[in-house]
A and B are shown apart, each in its own frame.
Chain A
Amino acid sequence: MSGAHGIAARWRAALLAGGLALLGGCAREDETQVLSFWAIGREGEAVAKLLPDFEREHPGLRVRLQQLPLTAAHQKLLTAFAGGSTPDVSQLGNTWIPELVALDALEPLQARVDASPEVREADYFPAIWATNRLGGTLYGVPWYVDTRLLFYRADLLRAAGFAAPPRDWAQWRAMLAALSHPERHVFGALLPTNEYEQLLSLALEQDEPLLREGDRYGNFRSAGFRRALAFYVDTFRLRQAPPITNVEAGNPWVEFGRGVYAFYVSGPWNIGEFRQRLPAAEQDRWSTAPLPGPQGPGAGMAGGSSLVVFRASRHKRAAWQLIEFLSRPAMQQRLYALLGDMPARRSVWNSAALRGDAKVQAFRAQLERVKPTPAVPEWERIATEMQLVAAEAVAGRLDVDQAAAEIDRRADAILAKRRWVLDHVGSRAP
């Protein structure tokens, strides 16, 4: 008995000593706080060049930057939450915010924004800002923005007798028809069948929401979504786009340069890619335009990344200082210069570097018209299933109505747990 007691006592003493050592470590760290910051993909590399200035301005702070690869970031964030090792600040794709809010992992930021001289809500694109607000609470500050629009070969359009890019679906369809020569392997558009962003952009141009009854059920049988799906599927049936995935598309930049595709629906990073990959002589052959809608210029996806503070952070004030620093117009402009990331603040868009660039300004027009996707944690999965079913329709295995009903069925099944949580546990779920 007493032996066991002695052992236990010794263990306790050892634990206590260990604990004190740990506390000591923390106390020493407090003199220069170490802020952990996770950034994803290309931004991870670029932001490293901005951080020295931040550390110079805040001598008491040191930023430990971790760069997550895009493919592993989502998993790593969830695992970090499960293991209680979330960072202080992180970059977060704005479609992932609902998931982390459902986990109650993020710190509300409205009070800090209200008190901040740097971050002013009015300067941001409203639809992008809205993706950071869930149930009336603000959880993130937009860092850079992203949407899909039309890259097009102006020279091919002119040669076919079209002076300007399409403004609505009817014009777009006419141009696709004129520019497609499937027998020569030349197509109007490239729409990779395993990317959901293109169909989603068409769907967001419709008036009907994508989910209904407080985001409890899918709303894919709505007339609007079926119209978008029909336009999408028709583009393949009329052989105006090849039914291939981005795995087979391989090098779309070269193909676009060769005129294999006249239209390419893609995001802002491709401005830089095209400038880099196509020879200088071909640079004036292509341009960008806002997405054509059913009637006139349409809405687009409100994508992008935000900066968030984690609830478990012990350096929230310093974390907010880092967000303020990265949100400065000067820093946004440097990020744009480094990566071509579209600034989230309108004032940056008025700077000389962006105003003089016509290919970039098309994005600004689109960004004023973007719409957020449904703010439910399951959204990414629903969009993925939507695209899987749409690919079946493209392959001719389902017609448009059958496909719409199937997407609804899958969305309803995915949302089953959300409905249960809302009904039984109350208002916790966003």
Chain B
Amino acid sequence: MNTQRVAWLFLAPALLVLGLFFLLPVAAAFVLSLTDYDLYALADLRHLRFVALGNYWELLHRPLFWSALGHTFYFVIVGVPLSLAASLGAALLLNSPLARMQAFFRTALFAPVVTTVVAVAVIWRYLFNTKYGLVNYALQALGLHPVDWLGDPHWAMPTIILFAVWKNFGYNMIILLAGLQAIPPDLYEAARIDGASLARQFWHITLPMLRPTLTMVGILTVAGYFQLFAEPYVITEGGPLQSTVSALFLMYEEGFKWWNLGAASAVAFLLFVVMFAVTGVLLRLARRGGEA
């Protein structure tokens, strides 16, 4: 009894902070999402209407919400595997006994993570400029047809994915590298003695030993990629033809540009539900995979 009270006492500061700065705002945002809080309500609270689930209903009937959600899923489904593959590939190369100047390459590959999104995005905008960009210049030098990277609604999202992968893969690379270094070398030694090829060593030793790290990195990356915002905000401003509007971008525009905080909160909660469901499924898959 007494120990329990002491435990609560010790927990109290953390719980208080969590309640005040996390749970309370979340609850307030949910209440907000049930109202049509907007500029008129800010002027005079008599203009505030309780609309129950009206914001959610309207969102579900808005084509832009669905296309924003579609763009977000596109970004996650293509971007996360690409990002993980790049991270794992780079980590394997760095971990290879043949690698020279490891410290230099580790720093160089990690560098994009610590750059500022805005500054780098501006440079990418120039690199991918249709007419003067270095990328199209290189394509033409190779005899390929130039691509309208940021102006064609079909190419804008792939360009953004490329940017995000380049910007983020270094972070996961460091974590995976640590995971690789934790695999006992005698496992590989035993496999080599048994005559296992490099591919089989990777498949039967590296991947299973790396599984917990990969699961964690995967889930964190999925959660992070669902919150796509800064890249389209800076590079394309949601265009062309709204083909890079993500769910979070939509929320930002509704809430902070047009001041429809009720509708914006509803977007936030719908995105939360989606992310919660996806992460839940991923965790379950990972657990089942772990048992098998």
Given known contacts A102-B43, A428-B44, A417 and B241 CB-to-CB distance under 8 angstroms: no
User: How many interface residues does B have (CB within 8 Å)?
Assistant: 31
Interface residues of A in 345-399 (CB under 8 A from B): 377, 381, 388, 391-392, 395, 397
Assembled-state Cα–Cα distance A185/B148 (Å):
14
Q: Does A103 contact B (CB under 8 A)?
A: yes
Q: Which residues of B are found within 8 Å of A185, using beta-carbon distances?
A: 131
Assembled-state Cα–Cα distance A387/B274 (Å):
31
Across the interface, do A78 and B42 meet the contact criterion of CB distance under 8 Å? yes
Across the interface, do B43 and A104 meet the contact criterion of CB distance under 8 Å? yes
Across the interface, do B240 and A245 meet the contact criterion of CB distance under 8 Å? yes
Write the nearest CB–CB distance from B120 to chain A, whole angstroms: 16
Across the interface, do A250 and B42 meet the contact criterion of CB distance under 8 Å? no
Across the interface, do A421 and B40 meet the contact criterion of CB distance under 8 Å? yes
Write the nearest CB–CB distance from A421 to chain B, whole angstroms: 5
Across the interface, do B150 and A247 meet the contact criterion of CB distance under 8 Å? yes
Across the interface, do B239 and A245 meet the contact criterion of CB distance under 8 Å? yes
- Nearest CB in chain A to that of B151: its residue: A248
Across the interface, do B43 and A248 meet the contact criterion of CB distance under 8 Å? no
- Nearest CB in chain A to that of B125: its residue: A247
Query: Which of B42, B130, B242 interacts with A248 by CB under 8 Å?
Result: B130
- Nearest CB in chain B to that of A194: its residue: B239
- Nearest CB in chain A to that of B242: its residue: A388
Given known contacts A78-B42, A388-B242, A417 and B36 CB-to-CB distance under 8 angstroms: yes
Assembled-state Cα–Cα distance A74/B253 (Å):
13
A-B contact count (CB 8 A): 70
Q: Is the interface of B mostly helix, strand, loop or mixed?
A: loop
Interface residue tally on A, bucketed by range: 20 to 34
Assembled-state Cα–Cα distance A103/B47 (Å):
11
Given known contacts A75-B256, A244-B151, A250-B132, A391 and B241 CB-to-CB distance under 8 angstroms: yes
Q: What does the 1/0 interface line of A126-143 toward B look like (CB < 8 Å)?
A: 000000000000000000
Q: Does A429 contact B (CB under 8 A)?
A: yes
3 nearest A-B residue pairs (beta carbon): A103-B43, A248-B151, A381-B258
Listed in ascending order, the chain B residues whose CB lies under 8 Å from chain A are: 36, 38-40, 42-44, 46-47, 49, 125-126, 129-132, 148, 150-151, 153, 235-237, 239-242, 256-259
With A377-B40, A425-B47 already in contact, 4 other A-B pairs whose C-beta atoms are closer than 8 Å? A104-B44, A193-B240, A391-B241, A428-B44
Listed in ascending order, the chain A residues whose CB lies under 8 Å from chain B are: 74-75, 78, 81-82, 99, 102-104, 185, 193-194, 243-245, 247-248, 250, 377, 381, 388, 391-392, 395, 397, 417-418, 420-421, 425, 428-429
Offer 17 A-B interface pairs, CB within 8 angstroms, sorted by A. Answer: A78-B259, A185-B131, A194-B237, A194-B239, A194-B240, A245-B237, A245-B239, A245-B240, A247-B125, A247-B150, A247-B235, A248-B129, A391-B239, A392-B241, A395-B241, A417-B36, A421-B40
